[in-house]
Amino acid sequence: MHPEIECFIRRATRGLWGQQRQLVRRELLGAVEDRLWRYQVGGCDEAEAVRRALDDLGSPAVIALGMQRTHTWPRALPWASALILLTAVGVVPLTQSQAQVVASPLNLTALFCDPSAAGALQRTQQLSPQVSRQFEHLRQTHLRAVERLCESMTSDTYELVERDSLIATLQTQGVQVSATPPASWMKTVATLPGHQTWRWLTFPGFSPPVALIPVGSVSQPLVSVYDLVYTVLNTQQLPLRVEGEINPRVTIGRTQFVLGTPQTPVQASQLRTAALARQLDPVLNARSFRGLTNTADPLDQTGFSNTTVTLPVRGPLADGQVVGVLVRLRSGPAATHPENQVPEDLLYTTRVRAGQLTLLQGMNPKTIQIVDSFEALRRPLPVGVDHQVMLMPLANTDDLVNLSYQVMAPATLK
């Protein structure tokens, strides 16, 4: 496949997973090839035909966003849950403080993914009878899908913050907030569902504005902290620093605020993962990868039992060392579908603790490969290997902009 087309489809299917991604990918490929064929029959050379065909399809980011909002699996489950919960439970937002952003007062993934009797009890207590019944029905009819989703979606305590709390905090720091998109985006944005909740942030001294795209209901919009960091870095190379592990102080340009409150704590690891993902995407886009999915640090998860495994880390990794973990997995035999030849990638950041690395349940690689360059990530998954875990030691993890370029050589570690 032409690399530009592969890159386009990869971006357009970002955030989708499994069969849904395959479906959208196949449909978009058919659409692009149809356009391509028409332009080539019309006399265009291949490069020009590709350029025009992709231009006809529009922004891959817009397609990805629309698809994520349409398909709830897998990343959107907590968001869909947020929608259900916030309308069904009638959650009251916590008090805002001036420079402290209030997180969503719900641990959504724990609530929905805990398979124990305690989890079921919690659902009956916190959800309306109808929503509770609907969810238990979902577990019964799509158990494997729910389990797989929860494995890959292990969540920090709080991964969402209240949009209005974030906006109020940013405004006190001089950030201009507008509900009107830039002129170049206006036409496209207006066709997307939920665009009424979008906001455009102009940080002092920087342009263009950053799109703030919430999830959840219109009356209670929430912002994923992962998406916030990813979008800021994706829009422009604003200086972006994070200090502290719990309720981190975030600096974007000259703007400072704290994500999370003592009552609704936010972990810093998912901010680092977003920064790493943003800078890994171009690397992974250069090959026919099926895309990067993110998950939270399994060390941060609460309310679960037997959801993680630990493996001894060989090599000179010191306790407390922050590492990026890239998991590559082939979902099935290549003979059953060509897509299966291409591994899926899962990324998170964590810390080495007591000489051990915490992995998500279900991940049981024979070896863990410690890499010290991004070139190592470009190497194809060897034939016959279906599961690979790569570990990247990271230095100076406060600086999110340069995070991915500060991979430490294992030899330099204490």
Positions that interact with other proteins (CB under 8 A): 12, 24, 26-31, 33-35, 37, 56-60, 62-63, 65-67, 69-71, 186-188, 190-193
Q: Which is nearer to other proteins, 9 or 325 (CB)?
A: 9
Q: Which is nearer to other proteins, 32 or 212 (CB)?
A: 32
Q: Which is nearer to other proteins, 59 or 279 (CB)?
A: 59
Q: For the range 119-127, what are the long-range contacts, defined as Cβ-Cβ under 8 Å and sequence gap of 24 or more? A: 119/303, 126/85, 126/89, 127/84, 127/85, 127/88, 127/89
Least distance (Å) between residue 128 CB and other proteins: 23
Q: Are 402 and 396 in contact (CB under 8 A)?
A: yes
Least distance (Å) between residue 191 CB and other proteins: 5
Closest of 340, 337, 321, 334 to residue 391, by C-alpha: 321
Distance between CA atoms of 50 and 53, rounded to whole angstroms?
A: 5
Distance between CA atoms of 247 and 265, rounded to whole angstroms?
A: 6
Q: Which is nearer to other proteins, 215 or 394 (CB)?
A: 215
Least distance (Å) between residue 164 CB and other proteins: 23
Least distance (Å) between residue 47 CB and other proteins: 18
**Residue in this structure with the two tokens 């050589």, named with its chain if needed:** 409
Distance between CA atoms of 68 and 223, rounded to whole angstroms?
A: 15
Q: For the range 45-51, what are the long-range contacts, defined as Cβ-Cβ under 8 Å and sequence gap of 24 or more? A: 46/2, 50/2, 50/4, 50/5, 51/4
CA distances from 211 to 195, 197, 198, 346, 359 (A): 11, 11, 7, 25, 33
CA distances from 28 to 10, 306, 379, 403 (A): 10, 39, 27, 33
Q: Which is nearer to other proteins, 65 or 167 (CB)?
A: 65
Q: Which is nearer to other proteins, 73 or 230 (CB)?
A: 73
Least distance (Å) between residue 241 CB and other proteins: 35
Distance between CA atoms of 175 and 4, rounded to whole angstroms?
A: 36
Q: Which is nearer to other proteins, 193 or 262 (CB)?
A: 193
What is the DSSP secondary-structure string of 310-373? EEEPPSSPPTT-EEEEEEEE--S-TTT-GGGGSPEEEEEEEE-BTTEEEEETT---S-EEE-SS
Q: Which is nearer to other proteins, 1 or 334 (CB)?
A: 1
Least distance (Å) between residue 194 CB and other proteins: 11
DSSP state of 190: T
Least distance (Å) between residue 306 CB and other proteins: 34
Least distance (Å) between residue 26 CB and other proteins: 7
Q: Residue 59: CB partners within 8 Å, gap ≥ 6?
A: 188
Least distance (Å) between residue 8 CB and other proteins: 9
Q: Which is nearer to other proteins, 8 or 304 (CB)?
A: 8
Instruction: Give the angle subtended at the CA of 61 by the CAs of 56 and 66, to the nearest 5°.
Output: 90
Count CB-CB contacts under 10 A for residue 332.
Answer: 11
Distance between CA atoms of 181 and 210, rounded to whole angstroms?
A: 10
In what helix (H) or strand (E) does residue 147 lie, and over which residues does it extend?
A: helix 143-152
Q: Which is nearer to other proteins, 285 or 388 (CB)?
A: 285
User: And the tokens for 319?
Assistant: 């306790």
Q: Which is nearer to other proteins, 20 or 331 (CB)?
A: 20
Least distance (Å) between residue 134 CB and other proteins: 16
CA distances from 39 to 26, 46, 53, 54 (A): 20, 9, 8, 11
| Amino acid, res. 99 | A
Least distance (Å) between residue 345 CB and other proteins: 23
